Amino acid sequence: MRGLNADQFRKLSCCIASIHADGDPEEFPIRVLKAIVELLAVDCAGYNEIAIRPQRMLRAAFLGDSYTREQLLAFERHIHEHPLIGYTHRHPGCRALCLSDFLTKDQFHRTGLYNEFFRRVGVEHQMAVGVASRPGAVAGIALNRRRRDFSDTERAMLDLLRPHLRQAHRTAQLIARLRRERKHDGEILEHAGLGSITVGSDGSILSASLEARRLLSVYYPAPRRPSNRLPPEIGDWLGHAVGGTISCLPLVEYRPGRWLMVRLATRIDGAFTLLFREHSVAGHALQLQALGLTPRQAEVVAWLVQGKTDREIGYLLGLSPRTVEKHVENIIQSLGVESRIKVMVRAGEVIG
């Protein structure tokens, strides 16, 4: 085999870049097939995931040709006759293979695989490479031609692509799994009244739950702020938190009768997960009535937990400071504690 020329190396480099390009992991098969078809002239190409026992197709994507359900069922019935599938599963690290490596033209034409499938779709030659293998299943790329077989140079180019195909496949599988887990975690958080945002090290938003986006729009309305960036207030707080200066303190943003609390939850591989939860005096007061407090006493304690003074609580509730002080004295007696601090501790146990 002769070495690759400059044009072939250029095409190979472009193909590798396309294979590793970011994109939806669900679109990985078609993205890879398009890249390979640009590199090697083929009539059609397919990505297949095939179970070995029982032999059946788990997933398939095609470029260049489309197949009827009957044609695919015919292929499935004769998977056991396909030499490349079984060999690739038994030897997951093998090089790119052609049908002609195993069968002569006459031998191939005598198989049910050819007569029931390949002959009917007009394919005479095939080259394939495995991209993943696990117990009981194999995934691979198959390139088909009607007239001429594949050359040694074309086989070498596919061999050079093989490690990139395997790595890109693993990456796509990992991203898909992480997205499923994140979606599941997000559903749990939403059910608990929490929003979540995952942020990159540069402050860009990688993903955000619907609740978190709602809270951002309510507490940090900024029409000109890019949708994929944190508000400056949260970005500055996160910078300090990451630096370790306020890592234990949440960010709190107040609005009349309610407030948003942002906490730094996790740090993994340069990404940060922030949890968002909205609190309200009305909501906390309702919870605090479980301590045996009256609705008004519960409102006083809800504001007391927020660090408000008697004067501030009186202003917020339309009461005099002296009336608030009297409420606090009655609350201390009702709860059987010794001080305001103990009231706040008991309240914190209820509202979290």
Report the candidate in 140, 157, 148, 155 with the shortest Cα–Cα distance to residue 92. 140
Does this model's pTM top 0.75? My answer is no
pLDDT at site 180: 66
Q: What average pLDDT score do residues 293-305 get?
A: 87
User: What SS3 class is residue 333?
Assistant: helix
pLDDT at site 20: 80
User: Angle, to 10 degrees, between the axis of helix 321-335 and the axis of helix 340-351?
Assistant: 70
pLDDT of residue 8 exceeding 90, the answer is no
pLDDT at site 245: 46
Q: What average pLDDT score do residues 208-229 get?
A: 82
Structural tokens at position 254: 């107040």
Instruction: Mark 190-225 as b/e (b = at least 16 C-beta within 10 Å).
Output: eeeebbbbbbeeebebebbbebbeebbeebeeeeee
pLDDT of residue 137 exceeding 80, the answer is yes
pLDDT of residue 173 exceeding 90, the answer is no
DSSP secondary structure letter of residue 115 = I
pLDDT at site 193: 67
Structural tokens at position 317: 């509730």
Q: What average pLDDT score do residues 273-294 get?
A: 84
Structural tokens at position 83: 């030499």
pLDDT at site 272: 83
Q: What is the mean pLDDT of the chain?
A: 85
Could you tell me the strand order of the sheet in which 56-63 lies?
56-63, 44-51, 137-145, 125-134, 97-98
pLDDT of residue 87 exceeding 50, the answer is yes
In angstroms, the CA 297 to CA 285 distance is 8
pLDDT at site 340: 84
Residue 223 or residue 170, greater confidence: 170
Q: Which residues pair with 259 in a beta bridge?
A: 254, 279
pLDDT at site 104: 95
- Return the minimum-mean-pLDDT range out of 27-31, 34-38, 216-220, 263-267: 263-267
Say which residue the tokens 């707080």 belong to.
Answer: 237
Residue 154 CB burial class (10 angstroms; 0-12, 13-18, ≥19) = buried
- Return the minimum-mean-pLDDT range out of 76-90, 101-115, 184-198: 184-198
**Residue-range domains of the chain with CATH:** 6-177 (3.30.450.40), 192-280 (3.30.450.20), 292-351 (1.10.10.10)
Q: pLDDT of 240-268, one tens digit each?
A: 777 654 445 788 888 877 888 888 877 66
Residue 112 or residue 208, greater confidence: 112
Tell me how far the alpha carbon of residue 215 is from its chain's centroid.
Answer: 22
Report the candidate in 8, 29, 9, 4 with the shortest Cα–Cα distance to residue 19. 29
Amino acid at residue number 174: L
- Return the minimum-mean-pLDDT range out of 239-253, 285-299, 323-337: 239-253
Q: What average pLDDT score do residues 168-184 get?
A: 71
| Long-range CB pairs of 88-92, under 8 A, 24+ apart, other chains included | 88/128, 88/129, 88/130, 88/133, 88/138, 88/140, 89/52, 89/130, 89/133, 89/137, 89/138, 92/130, 92/133, 92/138
119 pLDDT band, cuts 50/70/90, is very high
Beta-strand runs (E) in 135-244: 137-145, 195-199, 205-208
pLDDT at site 235: 87
What is the percent of the chain with per-residue pLDDT over 70, rounded to a whole number? 88
